[in-house]
Chain A
Amino acid sequence: MTDKTALQVEVEQFIYREAAMVDQSRWQEWLEMYTEDMTYWAPSWVNENELTSDPETEVSIVYMNNRKELEHRIWRFTSGESPASYPLPRTNHLVSNVAITDASGDQVTASSNWMSQTYRDKEQRLFGGYYQHILTRQEDGAFKISHKKVVLLNDVVDSFVDVYHL
């Protein structure tokens, strides 16, 4: 196996594992896949074909620039006290088309496509779009997510979305 193939496999396995942590409700393990200074950004659509480009000054669906915020969010939707997230839906994330777009130093940037099937209240909902992950190699050699961008194809959603749908 070439170095390139090994990296491809490692990145794919990492991204699949992230999806599995969400689908298996292993929230603490999911959280720990992110660096403390991570950013998580799901931009909004400006029009039929254009997304917002600045999470700080334009509208997003989700923007977090610290892992603490993801931790608060996980607390919120697992607490049982947020009506929107009780009961939590069953989710199934499919990720494919993983491509490494940049690899330099301790960082790898990868793009992928995703689709999630969710089920709750006798209703099935489908979401889809694409991801960009920036993975940063840690001292112990493992990757962590330092940036994740989630593009959701919809600009109008049924009811609401949360990070477990995306």
Chain B
Amino acid sequence: MKVETLTTGDGGPVDFGSFVEYNQETKEARIKRVALTSPEIFDMEMRYIFEGNWIYLCHEDQVPEVGDFFTTTMGRQPVVVIRNKAGKVNGFLNACSHKGTTLCRTQQGNKASGFACSYHDWCFDLDGNLEYMPRMDEGFPEDKNLANHNLTKIAKVESHGGFIFGSLNPEVSSLREHLGDITEIIDMLNDQSEEGFEVVRGTNTCVYHGNWKLLIENGGGDGLHLPSVHKTLIKVVQMRDEELNKGKTKAAKMVRVDELNDKDTVGATYAMQNGHTLIQSDLPNPEDRPAYAQHETFVERHGKERARWMTSKVRQVAIYPNLFIMDQLASLIRYVRPISVDRTEVSYWCIAPKGESRELRVKRMRQFMDFFSIAGLGGPDDNHEFEQCQVGAHAAAAPWSDASFGLHTEFTGSDPHANEVGVHDAKFGGPVGWEGGSVRQYQHWIKMMQAGQKREMSMNR
């Protein structure tokens, strides 16, 4: 399929509604693959989704002190997140108001005394106000109104449970509304520690040669790929277990992914509001995960059901469009940063309860690196499949991807298991493997792309 066929031919609107076909009678759904390959669409996604709505920025623990900053991008725009003198987290475009030079040039750091641009020495306080420039009286004799030259703020910056989000577009709902009952899942993580969670030192980052939606779809609800893509991981889990029992290795026990989706385990995938998805599933061997050490305490504090979710279930949320909070084979943040239509940067940060014992931390780190390192036993295989999907998506004579698996099992309304822990906005769901999560994710994408296109066209009129 040529890119031209996306538009009416006269520069008119893209018919995003045609990108997903869901036949309610036959329970079949398909998604247009050109969404993965069109640079035009990628540009629109950057404007409408990543630069036009809430996206994840970083964790509070990455900017713990006054002046601590973290640099990233929102869509294609460089930004810096920084904690001001009052302890509040601010965000700015990482571009001096003078010539657009970047102000913060490392991933993290501290600017407690303010931003000083190294190009012409314009200086800004931690709220982005211009405080000083050399020869100010000579250069601006009539204009002492420095406020005209302040840094440009990220319109909205809010956080929930340590996770900081921002929107360049001021016309968005509150973060609380955006997240909906996903907050319950975040709280179930944070409730594992009275002191909160920290981001463990050290990053693992890679760039796969594929579109960002391949990852958000994979982690957002693809419960089918485990036994195929990860078959060597499953075998290593079994080999490791056997060697451990014989005392031949000191490695930590891994989650028995080989037994993860046995028929009698309880699990489900849910499509939440705003494109978010949640996967929950019983862990085959919860006692081998660090959180389980506190199971009894959690039962007392939070009740039996919530404690079971906290220690004995896979909980994986994909917060649309760029964040996974995962507490499953390991506990981590997986952060998605689209670079171009066929390049996506993925960072893995292990998160852990502050003050955790060394013994539990050692176990946690091994479980994290076993799968999620850039040299792990799991992540590389996923990345390779995304890259091959990207190649295959150019086979334009076969323009559709299938997303029909298990659609006949779809339930709507709400699910009693999710309701147990206060998750009520899981409006659609199915057993693990149900591909409705992908379909709902793309339907949300369509909604955002249509709204963005409409907004832009009305502005241009």
Contact = CB atoms under 8 A, between A and B. Distances in A.
Interface in A125-166: 155-163, 166
Interface in B350-405: 350, 358, 361-362, 365-366, 368-369, 373-375, 377, 379-381, 383-385, 387-388
A42 interface: yes
B343 to A, nearest CB: 9
Residue from B233, B243, B365 whose CB has the most chain A CB atoms within 10 Å:
B365
Given A60-B373, A62-B373, A69-B249, A47 B206 contact: no
B207 interface: yes
A158 B207 contact: yes
Contacts of A72: 236, 239-240, 243
B218 interface: no
A116 to B, nearest CB: 13
Interface residues of B, number: 49
Interface stretch (A4-12, A17-25, A76-84, A94-102): A76-84
A56 B206 contact: no
Given A59-B204, A158-B206, A83 B384 contact: yes
B92 interface: no
B206 A79 contact: no
A82 B232 contact: yes
B201 to A, nearest CB: 5
B357 to A, nearest CB: 11
B270 to A, nearest CB: 28
Interface residues of A, number: 41
B205 interface: yes
Contact of A161 (B202, B229, B365, B374): B374
B384 A60 contact: no
Given A62-B373, A63-B366, A158 B249 contact: no
A46 interface: yes
B295 interface: no
Contacts of B461: none
B375 A163 contact: yes
Contacts of A26: none
B106 A48 contact: yes
B202 A68 contact: no
Contacts of A83: 229, 381, 384-385, 388
Contact of A47 (B106, B207, B349, B361): B106
A81 B229 CA distance: 8
A160 B206 contact: yes
Interface in A15-46: 42-46
B386 to A, nearest CB: 9
A59 B253 CA distance: 17
A59 B200 CA distance: 7
Contact of B369 (A45, A60, A85): A60
Contacts of A52: 201-202
B110 to A, nearest CB: 11
A58 interface: yes
Contacts of A68: 240, 243, 248-249, 251
A56 B201 contact: no
A90 B243 CA distance: 31
Contacts of B358: 56-57
Contacts of B108: 47
A65 interface: yes
A75 interface: yes
B47 interface: no
Given A159-B209, A163-B375, A59 B203 contact: yes
B248 A61 contact: no
Given A56-B365, A84-B380, A159-B208, A45 B239 contact: no
B61 interface: no
B231 interface: yes
B415 interface: no
A62 B375 contact: yes
Given A83-B388, A158-B206, A160-B375, A66 B251 contact: yes
B391 to A, nearest CB: 10
Contacts of A155: 203, 205
Interface in B398-433: none
B375 A156 contact: no
A59 B373 CA distance: 8
B284 to A, nearest CB: 20
B345 interface: yes
Nearest to A163: B375
A85 to B, nearest CB: 8
Interface string B195-228: 0000011111111110000000000000000000
Contact of B202 (A46, A56, A79, A157): A46
A75 B108 CA distance: 38
Give me the 3 closest cross-chain CB pairs, A-B, nearest first: A59-B202, A160-B380, A44-B202
Interface of B: 106-109, 200-209, 229, 231-233, 235-236, 239-240, 243, 248-251, 345, 349-350, 358, 361-362, 365-366, 368-369, 373-375, 377, 379-381, 383-385, 387-388
Given A62-B375, A160-B379, 9 more contacts: A47-B109, A58-B201, A63-B365, A72-B236, A81-B231, A82-B381, A156-B345, A160-B383, A161-B380
Interface of A: 42-48, 52, 56-66, 68-69, 72-73, 75-76, 79, 81-85, 155-163, 166
15 contacts: A45-B203, A57-B361, A57-B362, A61-B204, A63-B369, A65-B251, A66-B250, A68-B240, A68-B249, A75-B235, A76-B232, A83-B384, A159-B206, A159-B207, A159-B383
